[in-house]
Structure 1
Amino acid sequence: MLTGLLLIPFSVSTGVSAARKVERFAKPPAGFTGNPSALEQRVLDISTPSGPDYGRHLSKAEVDQYLRPTHEVWNTAVAWLPRTVLSLPTGPRPATGCHYREDATGVTLTRTLTYSIPDDVAHAIQLVHPLSSLWTSARRGSHGKLTSSTHFQPGNKVSERQATPASCPAPTSNLASPVCFMDLYGIPVIPATESSNKIAVTSYSDQWAKHSDLEACIPSAIPTGHHETYNIYEELLLGGSNPQDQPAGFEATMDIQAVMGIATNVSTSLVSIGNDTQENWALETAMYFAEMPDDELPGVVSTSWGSEETSLPLAERICNVYMQLGARGVSMLFCSGDGGVEGFYPKPGCTDFTPTFPSSCPYVTSSAVPGFGTSLRPERSSAQDAAVSAYLAVLPANHTSRGHFNESGRAYPDVSAQSLWLALVQNGQSVPGGGTSQSTPIVAAVVGLLNDRLIAAGRSNLGLLNPWLYSDAATAWNDVRSGSNNGCGTAGFSASIGSGWDPVTGLGTPNFLALLNVLGLS
């Protein structure tokens, strides 16, 4: 099956316009998937702690062996694709296309209502995008929407420490330094040591961070003697930018300062993706990382952006790329969304819960406070089935959420982190962070620090996290027993029902020392 075919529409005027020539390739281009089922099993073997192949990640060359379509599929597709310049007829446009406007963002997409593929070719093509698929724009996680009633409550912790650390501010304060979060989760203020350990933070919609803000934030946030050096790199993708003479964006500022304030001395890159990728943001970014050489690939990718799972074939295609990255030892982390059960933004009058993407992909780890969704996919992974089934078993049969979500689908969030109020410096001013956007880079920083310890011990990155999270590490998270996420005219879900995983905070918040112990690193 040829699963990487992208047919890109072009602007058509009322006159004659030339299409782009389709070139012949000597071999399948990157992203074409030949045997995803075999790769899926290999990824599970690599990521399951009880298996003999745990931690034996693949190289790019090894992953590529799984991605080659059969010669029959490749030849069929190439023989069908036109190899000459096409001329379009003059006159009015045929009534086969429409403009669609996304109400939440105002973004307009041009799509065709129908397209056709010859019967002798259809078996070789899984996805044609974006001719008829509608995909919501990238949206960032929320911030500034939580009340002080949830201020730094530690919940039921695995560790002995129950009180709010002295490094955290009083309930009347809105600012907490990274040290507060490190104390909350038992993270020692010890800089990372491994140069091969890397974290990437992605940013969209013309969001960037200023070096001067980072230089002002990090020294004031970390105790003396632990911030002598920090490494940040910039990567610009598809029209992305990072102008230092322009105001910094809030999202990029918070994400990069949260990661670097906690994962001290871990090499961090800010990947700025341009507006050219508004409708293809997830696919373009996933392929960017998938094409990286092994020695440049980060061990963790943190993304506080997402969209809604409106096109399952496209979501599955992108999810397959996340699977490839997991095979190579990359932990992909995403926020679960702003609207809880309503998706990435509130939907007054909704009846069914809206899954968000990429959180709905089983090959990424979803972080939230609060959030919940289940994918449109028919089945969830075996890794999380026991944890999710245990929650559903104690959810009352007459609960108002029943019937509004796919009870057999991938469930999220997987984990969570504190979402009030990280002290930031944006455009030279002290401002508070917060929300689901804040939780994701905090968890990414924790994973980055765990990777640093693993590499120092001669071991591999954690890679795909979820099989480990729901097995060996399931009890190494602070079980949060309060919170809810009502929506769509229902009570949503509550973290107070049962123990362990719940649809509001996942497995809970990090307990760094317990996680080290699980990894045999304490």
Structure 2
Amino acid sequence: MHYYHCTFVLSVLAVSLLCGLGKPLSPPWDIMYMKHSWNAVPRNWESLGRPPTGTTIDLYISLKSQRENALVDTLYEVSEPGHPRYRAYLTKEQVAELVVPRPETLKLVNSWLEHHGISSSSISMTHGGNTLMLKGVSVTQANTLLGASYQLYRHVESGETIVRTVGYSLPVALHWHVLTVAPTTSFVSSRTQWQTPRTQNHSEGAMKSTSGEPATMLSSRAKVDFVTPSFLRWLYDTETYAPNTQGENVLGVVGFLGDYPSPTDLTAFMQEYRSEASDATFTVVDVNRGGYDPTHPSEEANMDIQYAEAMAYPIPHIFYSTGQGPSGTEEHLMSWLNYILDQENVPQTISISYNYEELALEREYAIYVCDQFAKLGVRGVSVLLSSGNDGVGEGTCQKDDGTVRFRPTFPGTCPYITVVGGTTDYEPEVAADLSGGGFSDYFKRPRYQEEAVTTFFQDLGNRYEGLYNASGRGIPDIAAQALRFRIFLNGNDQEERGTSIATAVVAGIISLLNDWLIMTGQEPLGFLNPWLYGRGFRGLNDITEGSNPGCGTDGFSAIAGWDPVTGLGTPNFRNMLEQLF
């Protein structure tokens, strides 16, 4: 799969006129240049032809900010221990001031929309002021506006349908003002990060020695027959901590794809595995017609809620049931971001278990979504996201030209999110072979990773050279148990696995750290990574064994220090607490 980004050779005078530095009476809106296109329908998607008559799209036009670096600069200032502004978080209104577009940008874009007959009543500002939302644009009008050809596409594996175009254009006058337009060329199918276990055989008891196992590259360690809250609370040292913030601290769990948790199953799970928390509950928020039917729960939603609650009880939990709009015209993730960024109050900790292959997205669209997560970080939110269950990539990972490229997952490759990989067993914990990891092709290595990733490359040498971007953001950042979990579904006790549950576990632990901070009159942790890489790693259990095979390779290996399998390691709550002082 390839993307093409046009370059323009224009005179200085033409650039001045078209970009608003001069004052042309009527910009030539019919001079269009390609913004982004695929050379073929992306992998695993097939066209079903034109969308049904009357299909409309809510278009989001991302405008470049007047202060280009202000958002990210502020994010690091409020997230880096030792900085004078550390944990001095911003309000929703203050974030909007950071990202406001240039006045000439708004004038040009509004003139373009007026030229195409877009009613001003259908236009609103969102995402802190640097995005225009066009409500209910007909597909015909969108095609004309963007020089596009929207069609209905179906994912050949999941059956999910979306309305997209394989290419779109903008007037040349807007290329320096508009970052991206969505939905257009990003073909994504939301993927949950859990897997049906390969075996359902269990014996009584939670742990056993593996000294009798066939010889492997791993050292002798203790194996977990099945993972329960009591085991996790012992392993990660949270069992003696009692939260005290009484509602000030909230943990959010994001759900897509009609995944719903069952309160009845949560009660049964707690009665079986953490009886003192049998009154645990959660609030459901319906986002963009996500719906809620607790009589038809899913594995994904149940496991996320059950383990987030099991780790963080009695901290209040919110489950966001998120839809994607009519006819698949909006990604679930964007639906949720649109909602959460518009709220005055947001949870201090958020767990997300869904992701996409990064290369299925337009680069500028990925940057746009990533910036929305930066806005959450500036407001003091810790976002945890799963790294994936396919090691360095699913299948052969062949590109259109026949070459192999590892396939890291987005939005985890965004530098402003904390990504969770997977481990298994104990004494010591080792990497779970499903743990997603790798390096972004779109985002450069963030400064907080410079030392840790450089050390990893010194060990790796030239292995896999050309299969990944050595200068890209590395994932994951942290890890937790990801195999042999017991959950309840429709009243039945069963086994599940995946970095999805690992993410919920880590989110629960971070919520406990936030609880302690709030209880002692301090601000929550917010964007975690500068603290994790700078000091917090001393509170983690370093994982030095195991690997994450994929793409027809053995994948990367866990080593001392950071690695693209288990990140910096797994949590030890008490030790992490000491690193807050």
With the shorter chain as reference, the TM-score category is 0.7 to 0.9
Identify which of 265, 268, 278 aligns with 1:213: 265
The structure carrying a bigger strand percent of its residues is 2
| 2:288 counterpart residue number | 238
| 2:317 counterpart residue number | 268
Over the aligned positions, Cα root-mean-square deviation in angstroms equals: 3.4
Gaps of 5+ in 2: 1-18, 21-34, 36-48, 120-136, 210-219, 423-434
Shift in alpha-carbon separation, 1:420–1:35, aligned structure 2, 3 A: same
Shift in alpha-carbon separation, 1:114–1:508, aligned structure 2, 3 A: closer
TM-score (norm 1): 0.83
**1:129 deviation in Å?**
2.0
| 1:59 counterpart residue number | 91
Identify which of 411, 424, 432 aligns with 2:495: 432
Q: Matched residue of 2:487: which SS? A: strand
Whole-angstrom CA distance in 2 between matches of 1:89 and 1:333: 39
Whole-angstrom CA distance in 2 between matches of 1:13 and 1:464: 40
Whole-angstrom CA distance in 2 between matches of 1:179 and 1:96: 54
Whole-angstrom CA distance in 1 between matches of 2:65 and 2:389: 33
Identify which of 318, 322, 326 aligns with 2:377: 326
Spell out, residue by residue over 1:249-283, the C-alpha distance to the aligned partner (whole angstroms, 9 max, x if none).
00000000000011010110111112536851222
Deviates more, 1:404-413 or 1:191-200: 191-200
| 1:137 counterpart residue number | 189
Spell out, residue by residue over 1:211-246, the C-alpha distance to the aligned partner (whole angstroms, 9 max, x if none).
11111222332254xx375341100111212223x2
Q: Matched residue of 1:490: which SS? A: coil
| 2:82 counterpart residue number | 50
**Do residues 379 (structure 1) and 444 (structure 2) align?**
yes
| 2:483 counterpart residue number | 420
**1:18 deviation in Å?**
9.9
| 1:359 counterpart residue number | 412
Q: Matched residue of 1:117: which SS? A: strand
Q: Matched residue of 2:283: which SS? A: strand
| 1:204 counterpart residue number | 256
User: Aligned letter for 1:501?
Assistant: W
Q: Matched residue of 1:470: which SS? A: helix
Spell out, residue by residue over 1:342-369, the C-alpha distance to the aligned partner (whole angstroms, 9 max, x if none).
1xx4346561001211100000010012
| 2:26 counterpart residue number | none
Spell out, residue by residue over 1:142-183, the C-alpha distance to the aligned partner (whole angstroms, 9 max, x if none).
32457899x9799xxxxxxx996xxxxx74x43x32111010
Q: Matched residue of 1:142: which SS? A: coil
Shift in alpha-carbon separation, 1:20–1:435, aligned structure 2, 3 A: closer
| 2:506 counterpart residue number | 443
Shift in alpha-carbon separation, 1:177–1:78, aligned structure 2, 3 A: same
**1:114 deviation in Å?**
4.3
After TM superposition, list the pairs within 5 Å mapping 1:384-403 onto structure 2. Answer: 384-397=449-462, 399=463, 401-403=464-466
Whole-angstrom CA distance in 1 between matches of 2:554 and 2:304: 31
Whole-angstrom CA distance in 2 between matches of 1:14 and 1:471: 53
Whole-angstrom CA distance in 2 between matches of 1:505 and 1:152: 22
Judge conservation of contact 1:365–1:414 (CA < 8 Å) in 2.
yes
Whole-angstrom CA distance in 1 between matches of 2:368 and 2:488: 38
**1:50 deviation in Å?**
2.1
**1:98 deviation in Å?**
5.4
Q: Matched residue of 1:322: which SS? A: helix
Deviates more, 1:409-418 or 1:278-287: 278-287
Q: Matched residue of 1:388: which SS? A: helix
**1:119 deviation in Å?**
2.4
Q: Matched residue of 1:53: which SS? A: coil
**Do residues 503 (structure 1) and 564 (structure 2) align?**
yes
Q: Give the fraction of aligned pairs with identical amino acids, expressed as a percent.
A: 31
**Do residues 126 (structure 1) and 189 (structure 2) align?**
no
Shift in alpha-carbon separation, 1:212–1:18, aligned structure 2, 3 A: closer
> How many residue pairs are counted as aligned between the two chains?
478
Whole-angstrom CA distance in 2 between matches of 1:359 and 1:19: 30
User: Aligned letter for 1:459?
Assistant: Q
Judge conservation of contact 2:50–2:150 (CA < 8 Å) in 1.
no
**Do residues 73 (structure 1) and 108 (structure 2) align?**
no
Spell out, residue by residue over 1:368-387, the C-alpha distance to the aligned partner (whole angstroms, 9 max, x if none).
12121211125210001110
**1:109 deviation in Å?**
4.2
Identify which of 365, 390, 396 aligns with 1:314: 365
Whole-angstrom CA distance in 1 between matches of 2:73 and 2:118: 40
Shift in alpha-carbon separation, 1:255–1:228, aligned structure 2, 3 A: closer
**1:55 deviation in Å?**
0.9
| 1:514 counterpart residue number | 575
Shift in alpha-carbon separation, 1:107–1:223, aligned structure 2, 3 A: closer
Q: Matched residue of 2:441: which SS? A: coil
Shift in alpha-carbon separation, 1:120–1:470, aligned structure 2, 3 A: same
Identify which of 404, 407, 416 aligns with 2:467: 404
Whole-angstrom CA distance in 1 between matches of 2:73 and 2:58: 38
User: Aligned letter for 1:464?
Assistant: F
**1:46 deviation in Å?**
0.5
**1:29 deviation in Å?**
9.8
| 1:158 counterpart residue number | none
| 1:280 counterpart residue number | 331
